[in-house]
Amino acid sequence: MTQEVTKYLRVGPSPAARAPERTAMTLPTPLRNALQPVTAITGHYGTGKTNFALNLALDLAKEGLQLRLVDLDIVNPYFRSSEYTQLLEDAGVQAVTPVMAKSSLDTPSLSAAVDGAIEWAREGEGRITLIDVGGDDAGATALGRYAGPISTQPYALLYVVNAYRNLTQDPAEAATILHEIENASHLRATGVVNNSHLRTETTPDVLQAASAFGADVAEQLQLPIVAQTIPDWCADAMDGSTQTGVKYIVQMLVKTPWE
């Protein structure tokens, strides 16, 4: 672990145990206000974009909004929202996935359904299309295909950061990656999501330490932090006194291949 990471990390004595599944998941006001009918979620590989997108989609659907979640990750065959289609559909969220997703023929393919999902979100009140974008500038290139129709009206591009992921352990590194993503997507970020965690080994100390990292990244980018995610088993121990004050309780819905 590099010296830069330890600046933000104070690992607790033992892995966190999972808390019983909860029913209430409240969006912090800055996150709610940051959302637009078309909201794209981007970031570095492995920062937890898909887990954040899934939680956000499910929470908004519980509030009665109409949701579509577009899987635009045509780079990484793992950790994609396409793998959770049934979970989404059971919650009333329509999944828009690449052609042949989840099959042995899965290839980097795009569909006119993405254009349709963008248009659909703007046709009526209470509709949101979330776009789960692939990692880095390679993944953002696919988003750039839709920059024209997205940018004709207000949109949100949320940048997910994680202090404990390689190549984003320094705020300057995280800022550089976002600039590459913006250049590839032809869109500009509108907010930062601090999703710093160590999966099942996350403790309140880990989260508290990472709040400083998120603030540093946001300051360098001159963007607001709209959420700091808190795994549900740490919810009771976190009193809302994180540096950013934008606590968002999430479940670890995305599983690794060995879980």
Give which of 31, 87, 34, 28 is closest to 61, Cα–Cα: 87
Q: Per the structure block, which two tokens stand in for 118?
A: 């963008």
The domains located in the chain, with CATH, are: 3-8+29-250 (3.40.50.300)
Q: Per the structure block, which two tokens stand in for 87?
A: 């979970």
User: What is the reported pLDDT for 167?
Assistant: 79
Percent above pLDDT 70 for the chain: 78
pLDDT averaged over the chain?
83
Q: Per the structure block, which two tokens stand in for 208?
A: 């508290």
**pLDDT (tens digit, 9 = 90+) per residue, 165-196?**
887 889 999 999 999 999 999 999 999 999 99
**What's the rounded mean pLDDT across residues 101-123?**
72
pLDDT over 70 at 101, yes or no: no
Residue type, 217: V
Confidence grade of residue 112 (pLDDT, cut at 50, 70, 90): confident
Confidence grade of residue 100 (pLDDT, cut at 50, 70, 90): very low
Confidence grade of residue 208 (pLDDT, cut at 50, 70, 90): confident
Residue type, 108: P
220 by DSSP, 3-state: which? Answer: helix
Cα distances (angstroms) measured from residue 225 to each of 34, 49, 143, 149, 177: 10, 15, 22, 26, 17
User: What is the reported pLDDT for 103?
Assistant: 44
User: What is the reported pLDDT for 259?
Assistant: 62
User: What is the reported pLDDT for 16?
Assistant: 35
User: What is the reported pLDDT for 77?
Assistant: 53
pTM value > 0.95 = no
Cα distances (angstroms) measured from residue 102 to each of 30, 84, 114, 159: 34, 10, 18, 26
Which residues neighbour 107 within 8 Å (Cβ) at sequence distance 6 or greater? 98, 99, 100
Task: Name which of 59-63, 200-204, 224-228 the model is least confident about.
Answer: 200-204
**What's the rounded mean pLDDT across residues 195-199?**
91
